[in-house]
Amino acid sequence: MANTNTSKSDKSSVLQPSLPAELYLDPVVYQNELRKIWYRQWIYAGRTDQLPSPGDYMLHTIGNQSIIVTRNEKGRIGAFHNTCRHRGSALCQAQQGQFKQGQIICPYHRWSYSLTGDLLNTPFLDLADANRNFSLYPVQCQSWKGNIYLNLDTSRSVELGETADPGFTVLNNWPLEQLKLGHSHQFELACNWKIFWENYLECYHCPGIHPELCKLVPLYKAALSTDRLDPDTELADAVGSGIESWTTTGKAISSPFPGLSEAECSAGHTFMELYPNQYIVAHSDYIRQVSITPLATDRTRITAEWLFSEEAMAGADFDPTPAIAFSKQVLAEDAMVNEINQQGITALPHRQGYLTPQEGDLAGFHLMYMKWMDIPV
């Protein structure tokens, strides 16, 4: 959160209260979060190259909403609720597939729709004079650099990228659009989705939890996630000397992406968050993006994806294992502490935790959350 700052004097004395514990535990709050956040913000659904041809589709779930994402004859990707306008049957069951001959056919009574969601045909019935629209329920769908994003809020109150921190432009020099999905890894955590973000947003836990990561980034060994959080630190927000990328060896798995600046290369990592659902970590040789799906107050699904350049992947000796294994290890280390964090906050006398100066970025996340939820600060 670029707009959060702390002065040196704060550091030694005052801790700020964190969010009230009930916001992580109450099923009513969770339902409100779906309604006020997850059904209003942009949600990552996959890569455009997962749908190479017109009629290709995949399903994506947000909360309890099942969405069809499909590419139409003009090559444009769009999205609809997975619900027939007749009596409401789900249209698709398979997680991915192909609509033949440009028709989405309901399996129940065989009403059919075009790839843009218009009602095409109603067997045994002439709806020509019906003055009502029976198109599929639309879902907002946009793509950015090959990433597909959905938004269930058709009032278009939030623009894609509005919640990006520090903004889409920070990744301008990365060829994300051309990268290919090399590996993905999905798992569930027994914690609230906000606990996952909080853990991501601070490195106060890094010295104790991520020994290997700390070897790559001296700033993290000093318990800081960004040099902004301590005005006195002389440590840069960058990998240490001799380190090329976030891998088990510290060496890059391929040559750097051509368009990067020298600073971007030597930093070793560039972060972008797209609240509430995704963060992207761009290295000089690969990009890792992680998306977050809430399942219940105390249940969250994490999907991590590793993207590489086509040229690198085509190389005879290409081995992404050092990159994949490294970040899987970090994710597993965080998983453990995320789950015990959820366990501990159920204590009756625990109103809320406290944020140290090193955790200043959490305060910004909390402010955004309170605003989304219409909770006065």
- Binds a second copy by CB under 8 A, chosen from 94, 316, 347, 377: 347
To the nearest whole angstrom, how small is the minimum distance from the Cβ of residue 70 to a second copy? 16
| Sequence-ordered list of residues with C-beta below 8 angstroms from that of 269, at least 6 positions apart, any chain | 217, 238, 239, 246, 281, 282, 283
Is the Cβ of residue 90 or residue 375 nearer to ligand FES in the bound state? Answer: 90
Of the listed pieces 71-79, 246-254, 332-340, 368-376, which binds a second copy according to CB under 8 A? 332-340
90 makes contact, choosing from ligand FES, a second copy, none, with CB < 5 to 8 Å by partner type, with a second copy
| Sequence-ordered list of residues with C-beta below 8 angstroms from that of 318, at least 6 positions apart, any chain | 253, 254, 308, 312
To the nearest whole angstrom, how small is the minimum distance from the Cβ of residue 135 to a second copy? 11
Of the listed pieces 94-102, 127-135, 242-250, 305-313, which binds a second copy according to CB under 8 A? 127-135
Cβ atoms of 304 and 196 closer than 8 Å:
no
Which residues are 296's β-sheet partners? 299
If one asks whether residue 363 binds a second copy (CB under 8 A), the answer comes out as no
To the nearest whole angstrom, how small is the minimum distance from the Cβ of residue 132 to ligand FES? 15
| Sequence-ordered list of residues with C-beta below 8 angstroms from that of 90, at least 6 positions apart, any chain | 66, 82, 83, 84
Tokens linked to 312: 């690198």
If one asks whether residue 107 binds a second copy (CB under 8 A), the answer comes out as yes
DSSP conformational letter for 136: P
If one asks whether residue 106 binds ligand FES (CB under 6 A), the answer comes out as yes
Tokens linked to 237: 């927000």
- Binds ligand FES by CB under 6 A, chosen from 5, 16, 72, 89: 89
Q: Compute the half-sphere exposure of residue 85: CA atoms within 13 Å on the CB side of its CA.
A: 19
356 makes contact, choosing from a second copy, ligand FES, none, with CB < 5 to 8 Å by partner type, with a second copy
Binding pattern for the stretch 130-159 against a second copy, x by CB under 8 A and - elsewhere: x-x-x--x--------------x-x-----
Number of residues that bind a second copy (CB under 8 A): 69
The Cα-based distances of 182 to 185, 255, 289 in angstroms read 11, 16, 12
Cβ atoms of 79 and 87 closer than 8 Å:
no
Of the listed pieces 108-116, 142-150, 237-245, 286-294, which binds ligand FES according to CB under 6 A? 108-116
* DSSP one-letter string for 231-293: TT----SSPPTT--SSSSSSS-SSPPPTT--HHHHHH--EEEEETTTEEEEE-SS-EEEEEEE
End-to-end CA distance of the chain: 18
To the nearest whole angstrom, how small is the minimum distance from the Cβ of residue 330 to ligand FES? 18
Is the Cβ of residue 18 or residue 291 nearer to a second copy in the bound state? Answer: 18
Q: How far apart are CA 329 and CA 323, in angstroms?
A: 10
To the nearest whole angstrom, how small is the minimum distance from the Cβ of residue 52 to a second copy? 27
- Binds a second copy by CB under 8 A, chosen from 355, 361, 363, 365: 355
Q: Binders of a second copy among 265-284, rule CB under 8 A? A: none
Q: Where are the alpha helices (DSSP H) in 6-89?
A: 8-11, 27-33
288 makes contact, choosing from a second copy, ligand FES, none, with CB < 5 to 8 Å by partner type, with none
Of the listed pieces 42-50, 89-97, 239-247, 311-319, which binds a second copy according to CB under 8 A? 89-97
Is the Cβ of residue 85 or residue 288 nearer to ligand FES in the bound state? Answer: 85
User: Is residue 253 classed exposed, middle or buried when 0-12, 13-18 and 19+ CB atoms within 10 A define those classes?
Assistant: buried
Amino acid making up residue 42: W
- Binds a second copy by CB under 8 A, chosen from 101, 129, 241, 316: 129
Q: Where are the alpha helices (DSSP H) in the chain?
A: 8-11, 27-33, 193-200, 206-209, 211-216, 218-221, 262-267, 310-314, 321-344, 360-372
Kindly list the residues in this chain that would bind a second copy in the complex (CB under 8 A): 11-15, 18, 21, 39, 64-66, 81-91, 93, 107-110, 122-130, 132, 134, 137, 152, 154, 198, 204-205, 207-209, 222-223, 336-337, 340-341, 343-350, 352-359
